[in-house]
Chains A and B, each alone.
Chain A
Amino acid sequence: MSEDQPRVLTASVHDFRYFAALLRGVNFANRASVSITPDGFTVTVEEARCLTATAFVFSHVFDEFVYNPDAARPSQRSQPEDDDDELTATAFEIPLGTLMDCLNIFGTAGLAPGTSQKKKKSQADGDDSDGGRGSGRAGGKGKGRADADDVSGNARLDQWFAPGKGTGMRMSYAGPGHPLTLLVAEESGGPTATCEITTWDPEPRLELAFDSDAVVLKIILKSSWLRDALSEIDPSTEKLTIIGNPPPPPGRAARSSAPPCFRLKAVGQFGSTEMDYPNDREVLETCECAHPVAFTYKFSHITRALRALQSSLKASLRIDDEGLLSLQFMMPAPRRPGRRSQAFIEFWCLPLDE
């Protein structure tokens, strides 16, 4: 492929760990559809026709982001009546796992080693001890645990901005029928990897339309609160029920007998687990619920969000009146001057029929 050829997309960044963290959040199915717009691109995967996840990668994640939708289709420029969206969005499918493997070719796309080890350790602790569930639950509410999370959270943020440690990347796409070309260079003078990743024509995707006007439960909380709860649930669990109750009216002290605002109930082979989140501003930043609601989801689908939970700061959990679950994960903002919009990952999951 000649260098002079016009490219639909050219994007480069000197440290792609932030980009990799965004992609990792949705890296649970190999086939992903990518849709490029002038503002950036989205990467969407789906599973079993009832779970979709999208990473929103805005152009400011990159040092350089040049999108030229006309590069690949000069013939269509004679059709100005085309819908604007049609013209400005370019879509294709890629093997996402392969893209991640390519990015990680020098072993530099991962989280800081300390962070991942810490997570593994805490998971192992939960699995090893019989009382792990109960004590973990109590600990999860404790103040000490919250401080520890803040520390590890900061460590996670720092590793994206640690100076001089990043691996640079340049990505380009020449249009339909061309591979996605990825250039990865660890350091100047070091090895470089040139990857050509096969792309396919886009196929129709599952559209899960979340009805924002019919939200029956809305919770915003720190990602770590949700991550810890999900990690402690036995992996053999099949179903997870999300239960919401209206918060007690303000001004009245919450009685211990009052139903919890937010409860996760897991039912598996070895019994059931219930985890309650207190209606405390330190735990639930927002809790909106008009009537008691309960919807059940496949647990293995919910756990697909664990990677995104791990790298995100806050999670917003919403359920509409049909039971469609929307999970939005706010990623830490890349520290770039003058840019404020934050990258995020969104999951949509259909409930189980009961």
Chain B
Amino acid sequence: MRAITYSRGCDSTRLARCEKKGIVEVVAVPLRSPLANRPAMRFRATIENVDTFAKIVQSVEKLQKRCIIRFGEHEMRIICTGDVNEGGIQVWSLAKKGEKSVLSFEITGLTATGRNISVVQHILIDVLRHSEVERLKEPMCPEPDVHILLPPLGKLRTVVERLRPLAGEGVIFRANLSGELQLAVNTDNARVEVGWSGLANPAMSCGDKAKVASQGEDDSDAKDPTQMHGVLVSHKCLLKFLNSHVISSTTIACNVADAGGVLTYYIPAKFDDGM
């Protein structure tokens, strides 16, 4: 089967409001088609774990009011250009191609009295052209120097918030392979460094493992566990990310010191319940 990708701009605020206990059915249908007739749909998916979906959408909403949803054969990606936020949710099925463009949510839930209730929401969307979709590229993520598990995001956010008046050009985000993380800011008035220790450095991808394995032989490439790798990040961006932490309390950040300096976050969501 052809893996067709449709992308559309969609109001994430409205998406976020669709959090209900129950099952959500997401369909893309032509506008003004009676939904009962089940018109030609480009795709249809049933979300079993509505909580997680709502949390993901809420997280995305914190970052950007409009987002691009890219439907693939087996996944749906929510994309905020600039930042990429991926939510590989579950297997999605594709429906037939339609003319026009709403994303409709059929939400079934229980009322306070215990009766079944069904809510249908149509969200107007803009369908992106294929050429535009082609231009959506995942950002380049160089092989990170350090993977580190961040401290509880709520606490980290408090500190980052408090650093705002002290952060001149940005926040220097440093970590090493000994579980140490430092945030440093500089202004004329003060130099402040906040340090955490005893954090975990998780082993990440297979490629990383291979690299670690090969390190034993290649001493020149061996990483000094106490060497700090740091990047300078914008305070605003860092805080924006930390504000979107509803989905999970722990996050892995990986730090790249050399190749341009990119700070990447992996947000481990809990998809373990039968998905």
Binding site for B on A (CB under 8 A): 95, 97-98, 101-102, 104-107, 179, 189-198
Contact = CB atoms under 8 A, between A and B. Distances in A.
Interface stretch (B56-64, B157-165, B258-266): B157-165
Contacts, number: 62
B113 interface: no
A24 to B, nearest CB: 15
Contacts of A189: 198
A70 to B, nearest CB: 27
Interface string B12-54: 0000000000000000000000000000000000000000000
Contacts of B116: none
Contacts of A101: 162, 165-166, 190
A179 B191 contact: yes
B188 interface: yes
Given A189-B198, A191-B151, A191-B196, A105 B163 contact: yes
Nearest to A195: B192
A191 B198 CA distance: 10
B192 A106 contact: no
B192 A194 contact: yes
B54 to A, nearest CB: 28
Interface of B: 151, 155, 158-159, 161-163, 165-166, 187-196, 198
B195 A191 contact: yes
24 contacts: A98-B166, A98-B187, A98-B190, A101-B165, A101-B190, A102-B166, A102-B190, A102-B192, A106-B158, A107-B162, A190-B196, A191-B151, A191-B155, A191-B159, A191-B195, A191-B196, A192-B194, A193-B159, A193-B192, A193-B195, A194-B194, A195-B190, A196-B190, A196-B192
Contacts of B158: 106-107
Nearest to B156: A191
A191 B166 CA distance: 18
The 3 nearest A-B residue pairs measured at CB? A98-B189, A95-B189, A196-B191
A106 B166 contact: no
Nearest to B181: A191
